[in-house]
Structure 1
Amino acid sequence: MALATARRPVFKVKPATFTPRYGVSFFNNDYSFQRVRPNSTSVLTKTTRSPEAKPTISPLSALPTTVLLRSLLVATISSKPYLLLPSLSILSFLCKPRRSLLLNVDRNPILHGFLKSTFYKQFCAGETHDEVKTTIRQFKNMGFQGAIMTYAKEVVFDHRTKAQHGLGIMQNQDQDVAGSVFCAHIEAWRKGTVETVELLGKDDYLAVKLTGAGPNVTEAFTAGELPPPQMLDALDEICTKCKDRGVRIIVDAESHHFLSGILRVTLELMRKYNRDGYASVYNTYQAYLKSTPVTLGRHLAASSEEGFTLGLKLVRGAYIATDDRSLIHDTKQDTDDAYNSIAQGALRQEIGEFGRKNGRPFPSVNLFLASHNKASVLAAHQLHQQRMEVKLPTVPVGYAQLHGMSDEVSFSLLQLKGSGGDPKVYKCSTWGGLGECLAYLLRRAIENRDAVSRTGDEYRALKAEVGRRLRSLISFST
């Protein structure tokens, strides 16, 4: 996307050197913004390297070989419809409640071992605290700023069947304690989420799926109401613990059926905890929903009028298989345009009536761009850097891709890291038992099915990196 820089001075973004902790160095492509004719737009052009310049190393060279090979296996399946469609059918079948030993992924050791060593390890952080800590350490060793970690419990509403499915939520009954209603589902969610907080450190993020607290909470969300007091108390406890540890919170995107209630409670949390000049709590806005610009406009107005920082995490959307299709943009291009408009509008501090000439002042916003679209994130980073260089107003921004997906995008961003520490890149993962994470794995598989171009690009990039390493081995041996 072109960046308007008419009558501005030429400047160059110096190539940054990025050194992961295990010793592989990267040298990014040398880019410069060049001014063209007055009143025209600037273009991002690649400059010619001098003969002595060091060659660019493949972004995927940062991946450990075992991870690279597993990624290639999953990418091969994801990019081949004749392999992916049967895999989707199998995962969908296994997601249904099963009591028999043969079909229970947590009780059948053969089925558990196969799924855990392939799909689970590719996309999930671990089943135990030690496994999760190891995964987070690996992310940071590869150069990521930190991890975004989610506890796997959630409820998904299927618009077609009008049914909701609790994932990783036990079907036990609520109990009366000391004359008050005590929800065992909320307590189980609170306990698992607190455990997640304790696995994280400064610069990490906690991503919460509020529907994981069970039916009392989802019923309130469906009605557009705040959840029960027990849930609000749990959220206050979690927010306080996160603030004490330097961990920020992302309220994750979920089924549109629950959206009005989730938006209400998230706005309340932002009002309460985003008062220190930065966002401790982020809401997730799904660009594929036609209603998102209106929702964001309301939240910007609240932030402006009430003086809190708006935490804006932007995603394209991951519930297209179960949400009402009429609520979603008609084409992928419409979704891409909506995503880029919000992302670049936030970076320019111009969204709707906010930040424009004769409009309302732009409020305090922290931006987080979660995307697997390389063009979107590179354009956003270039715009952010451009505005920083020429001292134009902008907002703090971070970037994230899902664990096991779009590593080429993640490491391409890491290659651009400069002395100021930008871009800040994270990996987002989920932890919990294999059975609890099955629906999450299914959603990742569906996402890969619907992103034919991206999965094909990933497959080719991974295959090229495997080939490069094999050629290096052969050259070394000879």
Structure 2
Amino acid sequence: MDISFDNTKVAFDYKSDKELKASRFLFTTMNYPWFSAMGVRLTPFLMKTGLPINGIIRSTIFKQFVGGETLERTAAVAKLLNDYHVQVILDYGVEGKEGEANFEQTTEQFIRVINYAATQKNIPFISVKITGLSRFGLLQTLNEAPRLRSGVHDHEVENEEWDNVRERMYRICEVAAERGIGVLVDAEESWIQDPIDRLTMEMMEAFNKDKAIVYNTIQLYRQDRLSFLKLSHQIAQQKGFILGIKLVRGAYMEKERARAQQKGYPSPIQQDKSFTDGDFNAAVEYCINNLNSIAVVIATHNEYSNLHAAELLDMKGIMHSHPHVHFSQLYGMSDNITFNLAKAGYSVSKYVPFGPIREVIPYLMRRAQENSSINGQTSRELTLIKRELKRRKERSKPPSPKGEQGNAQS
């Protein structure tokens, strides 16, 4: 298998020297945890004060990790990535709004994104957050309710509210099925995840009969998720639909552990990273071993897990572009993985959020925290960028004049 995640020429071929130097500056800054922590705390506050910092954010962290402020602005990013055989997962990055009017507006925006994606040749998926369609408190109430068939306990108002959420999600998936666009449902905190799982499985049963349209996200840093993957597969086989799964390690570790400690229940998070890695790789193997009935998006920045999955496909003689296997990394990170997988013919995408700067600040702050908290992530990015800049500098040096070597030796 001819693939190397150390190939910086392939990884950064799409970036100019100026863009690469800007990335070097950003990751150098983010490599100082104290600086990132200060930025995470201060940036939302400074945005609220009205101080003119939009330009600084737009030209640094926003440009690195976000596709644009509007859906149309993402077109340039999508076109550039397509030139290198990299696809796109579009994510409407607005978060944290509540109220039925806002939920309806978000639903319409998701549908607009689906219709737009269907006009582009390299946007096979969009990402959906159920917290954009439903009140957080409702999800928490349902998560704590007895496991009734409907998933809702006896309360007329909440039944009606949940029916509205289901109807919004159905509308989104219906348009996605008509347009042939996959819907990746994001995972959330463990204390609201259960109703999201049930709703997503309901949508899969309705729309995944012949093709995987709806995908649930499984966070393998949770101790119970590998067994949940296998249970979900059993249900899908019994009910006759294709199970759509996006595999991630997880995004709420600190919050999950803090809440468990505060409320006095066992943490749902794995003992340590080795357990998460073990379950993630086992989940990859399980999905690849069942590709006739599982469609999987392997969404990770872990080099070993990506290489392991690629090797499994080769070992089993499965074509790199199999419609049930897709790789993905976040826009602005792990280009060494994305572009080298694409070069080797694997189906791979960048997860590209978009939205007004003020609205995507929560997403950007998570990226800053993630790069600081993941052991070695920022250092790895920085090392690869520096290596590529050095390679380009050496390549651009003029050749030595004839006889210079001999003169130096004499």
TM-score with structure 1 length normalisation?
0.72
Judging by fraction of residues, say which structure has more helix.
2
Q: 1:91 corresponds to which letter in structure 2? A: V
Q: Is the 8 Å Cα contact of residues 149 and 431 (structure 1) preserved in structure 2?
A: yes
Cα distance in 2 between the residues matched to 1:274 and 1:469: 47
Please say if 1:87 is aligned against 2:36: yes
Aligned to 1:412: 340
Cα distance in 2 between the residues matched to 1:115 and 1:128: 16
Q: What is the 5 A alignment of 1:200-279?
A: 200-201=117-118, 203-215=123-135, 218-224=137-143, 225=151, 228-276=162-210, 278-279=211-212
CA offsets per residue over residues 370-402 of structure 1, 9 Å max, x none?
00011110111111111026x9xx982110000
Q: Which runs of 4+ in 1 moved over 3 A?
A: none
Q: 1:60 corresponds to which letter in structure 2? A: A
- Which among 83, 101, 108 is matched to residue 191 of structure 1? 108
Q: Is the 8 Å Cα contact of residues 123 and 403 (structure 1) preserved in structure 2?
A: yes
Please say if 1:379 is aligned against 2:308: yes
Structure 1: segments with no counterpart, 5+ residues: 1-12, 16-27, 30-55, 155-165, 175-182, 350-361, 418-422
DSSP 3-state at the match of 1:318: coil
Q: Is the 8 Å Cα contact of residues 188 and 213 (structure 1) preserved in structure 2?
A: no
Q: 1:388 corresponds to which letter in structure 2? A: G
> Is the alpha carbon distance of 1:222 and 1:371 closer, same or farther for their aligned partners in structure 2, counting shifts above 3 Å?
farther
DSSP 3-state at the match of 2:256: coil
> Is the alpha carbon distance of 1:222 and 1:384 closer, same or farther for their aligned partners in structure 2, counting shifts above 3 Å?
farther
Cα distance in 2 between the residues matched to 1:441 and 1:383: 34
Please say if 1:59 is aligned against 2:16: no
Offset of residue 465 of structure 1:
0.4
Q: Greater shift after overlay, 278-287 or 223-232?
A: 223-232
Q: Is the 8 Å Cα contact of residues 8 and 336 (structure 2) preserved in structure 1?
A: no
Q: Is the 8 Å Cα contact of residues 229 and 283 (structure 2) preserved in structure 1?
A: no
Aligned to 2:283: 342
- Which among 15, 20, 23 is matched to residue 71 of structure 1? 23
> Is the alpha carbon distance of 1:237 and 1:296 closer, same or farther for their aligned partners in structure 2, counting shifts above 3 Å?
same
Q: Is the 8 Å Cα contact of residues 71 and 355 (structure 2) preserved in structure 1?
A: no
Q: 1:243 corresponds to which letter in structure 2? A: A
TM-score with structure 2 length normalisation?
0.83
Cα distance in 2 between the residues matched to 1:370 and 1:476: 43
Question: In angstroms, what is the RMSD of aligned CA positions?
Answer: 2.5
> Is the alpha carbon distance of 1:57 and 1:73 closer, same or farther for their aligned partners in structure 2, counting shifts above 3 Å?
closer
Cα distance in 2 between the residues matched to 1:222 and 1:443: 26
Please say if 1:324 is aligned against 2:253: no
Cα distance in 2 between the residues matched to 1:218 and 1:206: 25
Q: Is the 8 Å Cα contact of residues 91 and 438 (structure 1) preserved in structure 2?
A: no
How much identity, in percent, do the aligned residues show? Answer: 28
Q: Is the 8 Å Cα contact of residues 12 and 336 (structure 2) preserved in structure 1?
A: no
Cα distance in 1 between the residues matched to 2:246 and 2:19: 28
Aligned to 1:25: none
Offset of residue 469 of structure 1:
1.4
Q: Is the 8 Å Cα contact of residues 60 and 462 (structure 1) preserved in structure 2?
A: no
Please say if 1:286 is aligned against 2:203: no
Q: Is the 8 Å Cα contact of residues 185 and 214 (structure 1) preserved in structure 2?
A: no
> Is the alpha carbon distance of 1:266 and 1:86 closer, same or farther for their aligned partners in structure 2, counting shifts above 3 Å?
same
Offset of residue 295 of structure 1:
1.7
Cα distance in 2 between the residues matched to 1:292 and 1:231: 24
